[in-house]
Amino acid sequence: MEDHKNNRFDDFFNTGAAGPNDKPDAEKRAADSGEKRQTYYYSYGPYKSNGAANPAVGAVIPAVGSEGVSAVDVTAPQPVRPLYPEGASGSDTAKGTWQFDNKKRSPIRSVLISFLAGALVVSGLMFAADRLNLFGGDSGGTAGSGSIFGTSGGGVRTTALDLDRPGNIASIAKSANPAVVLIETYVKPRSNSSRNYWYDDPIFRYFFGDPYQQSPRSQGQDNSLQPSGAGSGFIYKESGYILTNQHVIDGADEIQVTVEGYSKPFTAKVLGSSYDYDLAVLKIEGDKPFPVLPIGNSDDMDVGDWVVAIGNPYGFEHTVTVGVLSHKGRQIPITDRNGQREYKHLLQTDASINPGNSGGPLLNLDGQVIGINTAISAQAQGIGFAIPTSTIAPLLDKLEKGQEIPKEPSPFIGVTLQDIDKSWVEDLKLENTDGAIVLEVQRGTPAFQGGIRQYDVITKVNGEKVANSKELQEKIKASKVGDKVTITVMRDGKPIDLTVTVGDRNAAQTQ
């Protein structure tokens, strides 16, 4: 191995200031005293030396070669000659070793020269890359549009990347806007239930006054309609059929529809509606055919496809927003004054949707309706939901005819559940808190008919363990009405397998 004195990399570790042929002080002291010279080991990460128990002192670094393993001792490096500028204290020999330029250089001039030199080098490299087509395809010149480091040889495939939005958004908006309508709802004033009937007697009011007295201007307007809300919709048949959300027209005594190109709004009639599906069909009468929007197939859409939303958010009529289809098949529950809707198969989009967009169309790049904008996430931005046309299309005929639309089947077995508390484990003769305890079994339900009883602990569904009541409910909801499932219960410390036929909650409530 080459002598360490001739290895210039050892200079990096020097801490002394002796001459080039002198030994460091620590090495001299070690030689004079006869002591063994110490070496130091530096490591990165969790690796440890095999040469000593303490890696910081007396460590030996193993060097692995083709012939085996030999110890490499980290010796003290050669000293670096000190730097003495002119005028500083030091030996005359050291002063004569270094040459200095006493002229003062302007820092601005140095920076400018460096900048110009760098710009010249970069320009040259760019010119060479362009002329030699270093990053392009087969043809000369610059790389083709959408090509990223594509080459013609070596089996490297050119990657195409479209960074532009579709160029037909304006034409879609122009052709679709006439068929998008503003829907405004009105209600009659509700009587004040807290009003005392004595105030209906004019003599009583003469002596005691009337705290509910209205101004003369409003006394003759008791039966006038008051605005209650606004939303969107679109015409899908030229004879005046309009599709919108049920919650847009819910509770309205009168519905007025504003169509682009007409000076006065139309009074609409509700043909049919469905609370569960949140859909409604309205009808307006006109003296000429209305502009329409074609209904497309939402199943043909892929996640990432461009979509366009049009509506009347916050009263800003015919607002156009653009985004992509973020996800398909979302399921969300929304609670309102009439109950809770279980939306299923929703389309998620990041196209801006706000209050007032409800009922408006979600379009594909062919200008076809693939969904009805319905809901937004109040806790987030860029998360909106639309009812897909795959859900709407089978229901349109019944909505137009005003027929009742049956609710979508809701799988259930008919039990009330609760998670297991740790204090119940011993009393129920269980090993742990996995599963759910049955607090109540409704008579006539699938669970009752299948043999499940109060205080049974359900631990498995079709052989799969359940950790708590929520997980058990999710497994039942994932089943289909009519499926036979095997439910394992713990009763008096013994497992029992029971066969239960999944029922329909909606049908059971109707009965």
- Beta-carbon contacts of 121 under 8 Å, excluding residues fewer than 6 positions away, are none
Distance CA 339, CA 78 (A): 85
Annotation marks residue 10 as catalytic: no
Query: Which structure tokens are listed for 428?
Result: 């129920």
Annotation marks residue 247 as catalytic: yes
Distance CA 79, CA 225 (A): 98
Distance CA 157, CA 149 (A): 9
Task: Specify which residues 307 forms β-bridges with.
Answer: 323
Q: Which segments within 413-502 are labelled E, that is strand?
A: 415-419, 436-441, 457-461, 464-465, 484-491, 494-501
Write down the catalytic residue from 247, 273, 326, 504: 247
Write down the catalytic residue from 273, 278, 352, 504: 278
Distance CA 397, CA 340 (A): 25
Contact assessment for residue 228 and residue 250, using Cβ atoms and an 8 Å cutoff: no
Write down the catalytic residue from 232, 326, 358, 479: 358
Distance CA 275, CA 30 (A): 94
User: What does the DSSP 8-state code read for residue 183?
Assistant: E
- CA torsion sign for 25, 28, 30, 33 is negative
Contact assessment for residue 153 and residue 136, using Cβ atoms and an 8 Å cutoff: no
Residue whose entry in the numeric block shows the structure tokens 């399921």: 331
Q: What is the CA radius of gyration of the chain?
A: 41
Contact assessment for residue 421 and residue 433, using Cβ atoms and an 8 Å cutoff: yes
Strand 464-465 versus strand 457-461 pairing type? antiparallel
- Just list the catalytic residues: 247, 278, 358
